[in-house]
Chains A and B, each alone.
Chain A
Amino acid sequence: MTTLIILTILMILGAVVALESKDVLSGIISLGIIGFALTINFVLLKAPDLAIVQIIIETLTLIILIAAVLKTTREETAEKYGIKKIVLGFIGLVFIVVFIYSSIKVFNHLPEFGEQSLRMAKIYIDQGLPLTGAGNLVAAVILDFRGYDTLGEATVLFTAVVGVMAVLRKVGRKRS
């Protein structure tokens, strides 16, 4: 439990470094800290399926982001500090504080961390093995009880690949 809190604080520090660095390439490499700490969090929360998927997809995300940055440019755009930027930053900060305060009020209605009442999953746990015959309850849920979600997800992945190929195939007109 304390390991969970320490790793989440590490993720927050990594996120701040990733967004505020001057070099875009070091910002992307700091994104790797967040992904790998999330993998250890998934193992501590007793979810082995998610850990296997997350660690490899994190590596592939780093590869495509680094390839995109090395092909184009790696310097950060120049910022100038005026009065308009300070006012906008202050309004953003007020919005984020109100957002965190109202979410704290919402969390008082949720059950405590670790005391889930399993109202929706009682049928899946008690009768998962006789109804489907599978030992892995997560596989039984995603392929037998909620199979439409998996069908939609396969379609979305296929559409994303078709979109990537359609955008990067033809050469457009260059702006002169």
Chain B
Amino acid sequence: MIVFILAIILFSIGLYGILVKRNLIKMIIGLVIMEYAVNLMLALVGFRTGGIAPIITSEIPEAAKFVDPLPQAIVLTAIVIGLGTTALLVSFAVRIHEKYDTFDVRKIRKLRG
């Protein structure tokens, strides 16, 4: 139970980073911290005490105590999609800096095409 609360505290630190910070790179760091917290939380839900990894080999009997394989499948997809999101945000930040010469979001006001 205390591990769940620690994961939620990590998530809210990332949320504070997106809401309060003014630098564009610090906002991207906050989003990455939120993604790590959500992946940790999903992997914590499926854990069984005393269980083993969910792989059937020829020497492990069929009725052994396995850890839940369904949250692991969800987190595997989420990690790779997180990298795609980060790459696209970083390319936007590089392009904005080339046009406006700063990373401060208070100075990037004119969004004309």
Contacts of B100 in A (CB 8 A): 175
Contacts of B74 in A (CB 8 A): 149
Give the distance in Å from the alpha carbon of A5 to the alpha carbon of B53 in the complex.
21
Chain A nearest CB from B55 CB (Å) reads: 5
Q: A114-B49, A121-B68 are in contact. Are A64 and B76 (CB under 8 A)?
A: no
Contacts of A34 in B (CB 8 A): 33, 36
Asked if A81 is at the interface of the complex by the 8 Å CB criterion, the answer is no
Chain A nearest CB from B26 CB (Å) reads: 6
11 A-B pairs with CB atoms under 8 Å apart are: A5-B6, A12-B9, A34-B33, A46-B47, A47-B72, A61-B86, A73-B97, A114-B48, A116-B45, A116-B47, A175-B99
Contacts of B77 in A (CB 8 A): 142, 149-150, 153
User: Which one, B1, B47, B55, B97, contacts A107 given CB within 8 A?
Assistant: B1
Asked if A156 is at the interface of the complex by the 8 Å CB criterion, the answer is yes
Which chain B residues (94-108) contact chain A, with CB distance < 8 Å?
Answer: 94-95, 97-104
Report the tally of A-B residue pairs with Cβ distances under 8 A: 231
Binding site for A on B (CB under 8 A): 1-10, 12-17, 19-23, 25-26, 28-30, 32-33, 36, 39-40, 43-49, 51-57, 62, 66-70, 72-77, 79-88, 90-95, 97-104
Q: A5-B6, A8-B7, A135-B57 are in contact. Are A116 and B46 (CB under 8 A)?
A: yes
Contacts of B16 in A (CB 8 A): 19, 92, 96
Contacts of B83 in A (CB 8 A): 57, 60-61
Q: Is the CB of B67 within 8 A of A45?
A: yes
> Chain B: which residue is nearest A164 at the CB level?
B91
Q: Is the CB of B43 within 8 A of A47?
A: yes
Contacts of B86 in A (CB 8 A): 61, 64-65
Interface size class of A (residues with CB under 8 A): 35 or more
Give the distance in Å from the alpha carbon of A112 to the alpha carbon of B49 in the complex.
10
Contacts of B85 in A (CB 8 A): 160
Contacts of B14 in A (CB 8 A): 15
Q: Is the CB of B54 within 8 A of A137?
A: yes
Give the distance in Å from the alpha carbon of A96 to the alpha carbon of B81 in the complex.
27
User: Which one, A27, A38, A72, A96, contacts B29 given CB within 8 A?
Assistant: A27
Q: Is the CB of A77 within 8 A of B23?
A: yes
Which chain A residues (4-26) contact chain B, with CB distance < 8 Å?
Answer: 4-5, 8-9, 11-12, 15-16, 18-19, 24
Which of B49, B75, B76, B82 neighbours the largest number of chain A CB atoms within 10 Å of its CB?
Answer: B76
